[in-house]
Amino acid sequence: MTRKQEIIDFLAQEFPQNKCTVESVGPLTATVRHEVGHAELRPGNTVSGPVLMKVADVALYVAILNEIGIVPLAVTTQLSINFMRKPAADAAIIGVCKLLKLGRTLAVGEVSLYSEGRDQLVAHAVGTYALPPDAQAAQGPTRH
């Protein structure tokens, strides 16, 4: 089973309410997708801020799990977002994560958020995850 499939299975089991799908994973990267429907919209016919935050958080989590393995107690300690332009109401949100630092106790990454099919950023997020002590053992040798 691939690491991507392990992550997909883990998210389905532990976070069944999650609407993000894992599109791809790679060294220090992950891309996730969130379909947009009526429930994701706010007045003004745009995607709500909490949906964008969720996509950013899930993209970070997936990128980290791809590096350290399934370590459920890796948790968000900080997440900030800059909303740059109105997301399309008729397109999925795509979150592209790049990990900037993967240490023993902290991981830091950035996520670029797009409306599917469009090149301009709708938001940019930066986040930090705390990694539990057993994550270091799970990491093993660096894979890069």
User: What is residue 142's predicted lDDT score, i.e. its pLDDT?
Assistant: 43
- Structural domain containing residue 7: 3-139
User: What is residue 39's predicted lDDT score, i.e. its pLDDT?
Assistant: 93
Altogether, the residues listed in the chain come to a count of 144
Distance of CA 45 to the CA centre of its chain: 24
Contact 22, 5 (CB under 8 A): no
Residue 101 lies in a domain: yes
Write the single-letter amino acid at 64: I
Give the CATH number for residue 41: 3.10.129.10
pLDDT tens by residue, 58-115: 999 999 999 999 998 999 999 999 999 999 999 999 999 999 999 999 999 999 999 9
**Model confidence, pTM:** 0.92
User: What is residue 139's predicted lDDT score, i.e. its pLDDT?
Assistant: 54
Residue 97 lies in a domain: yes
Lowest mean pLDDT among 50-54, 131-135, 137-141: 137-141
* Number of structural domains in the chain: 1
Residue 144 lies in a domain: no
Residue 30 lies in a domain: yes
